[in-house]
Amino acid sequence: MTPASNTDISGVLFDLDGTLVDTAPDFIHCVNLLRVEHGLPTLKESEIRKVVSDGARAMIKLAINMDPDHVDFPRTRQHFLDLYEQKIADHSALFEGFEALLNDLSNANIPWGVVTNKPRHYAVLLLDKLGWLDKMQTLVCPDDVTRAKPDPEPMLLACSQLNLDPRRCLYIGDHERDIQAGKNANMPTVAAGYGYVHHPDEANEWQADHTFSSALELSTWLKTILIKAT
């Protein structure tokens, strides 16, 4: 099946970390807290930011060079997540242009939501503190499905909850698995190249239908295709 053209798009789904919300500042703080606890010097923000979308395992590996098969990894992972829960939304915020966009989508009754690999407990806590949890029409997390992205299951569940044909619902993400998941669900895809990518040109390699290097440019473009002039 062929994804819809821009004029046929009726709704939008976002990845969370690195796409809709810049959560890196709080993760950066937690990674460096973990390093300090282990007697290590803090890392540069830019070095940590690159691995945020790769999850807790990658951040712990970066922080203290601990692999998942280490005997202390489960305890360390939980400690890291506890640190994050204490700091969640302290410095996280929507990327530039998205606050106005989401308000416009809600006012125009355009369905939107989030599909993320972030566990529901943390996604709900973050979105609630930022004030957006009750304004979206769907939130799909790994807890809600049997197979997470890049499998299409979470994408199809979200589209079903929005009552949208996947071909008419955009999916936007800052990781290759996001684009793969969207394509696997026959959704038009957008790569958020401004997110937590490993190198500047990485997003161009994912073969998304559209790629943006600026959050403001992306949010402006979304307004033009989703919100019809009245």
Please say whether the beta carbons of 123 and 158 come within 8 A.
no
Is 17 domain-assigned?
yes
Q: What is the DSSP string of 96-147?
A: TTHHHHHHHHHHTT--EEEE-SS-HHHHHHHHHHHT-GGG-SEEE-GGGSSS
pLDDT confidence of residue 228: 65
Residues 81 and 104 in one domain: no
Is 1 domain-assigned?
no
pLDDT confidence of residue 1: 40
Q: Which CB contacts under 8 angstroms, 24+ apart, belong to 70-76? A: 76/34
Residues 77 and 167 in one domain: no
Q: Residue 142: is the preceding peptide bond cis (ω within 30°)? A: no
Which of 63, 87, 111 is the endpoint of a domain? 87
Whole-angstrom distance, CA of residue 2 vs CA of residue 206: 18
Residues 101 and 178 in one domain: yes
Is 50 domain-assigned?
yes
pLDDT confidence of residue 86: 94
Secondary structure element (H or E) that encloses residue 76, with its range = helix 73-87
Residues designated catalytic: 15, 17
Give whole-number Cα distances, 61 to 55, 58, 148, 228, in Å.
10, 5, 22, 46
Residues 191 and 174 in one domain: yes
Which of 87, 106, 131 is the endpoint of a domain? 87
Whole-angstrom distance, CA of residue 157 vs CA of residue 146: 11
Residues 41 and 133 in one domain: no
Please say whether the beta carbons of 21 and 172 come within 8 A.
no
Residues 40 and 133 in one domain: no
Is 101 domain-assigned?
yes
CA atoms within 13 A on the CB side of 61: 11
Whole-angstrom distance, CA of residue 152 vs CA of residue 185: 5
CATH number of the domain to which 152 belongs:
3.40.50.1000
Residues 16 and 36 in one domain: no
Is 80 domain-assigned?
yes
pLDDT confidence of residue 220: 96
* Tokens found for residue 92: 């996280």
pLDDT confidence of residue 35: 97
pLDDT confidence of residue 229: 41
Which of 58, 87, 116 is the endpoint of a domain? 87
pLDDT confidence of residue 230: 34
Is 137 domain-assigned?
yes
Contacts of 36 (CB under 8 A, 6+ apart): 42
pLDDT confidence of residue 73: 97
Residues 113 and 163 in one domain: yes
User: Residue 10's domain spans which residues?
Assistant: 6-23+92-226
pLDDT confidence of residue 134: 95
pLDDT along the chain (230 residues), means of 10: 64 97 96 97 93 91 96 96 95 97 95 96 97 97 96 98 97 97 98 92 95 97 79
pLDDT confidence of residue 168: 96
Strand, helix or coil for residue 21? strand
Residues 101 and 200 in one domain: yes
Is 155 domain-assigned?
yes
Residues 103 and 203 in one domain: yes
Residues 55 and 109 in one domain: no
Residues 214 and 161 in one domain: yes
Is 12 domain-assigned?
yes
Number of domains present in the structure of the chain: 2
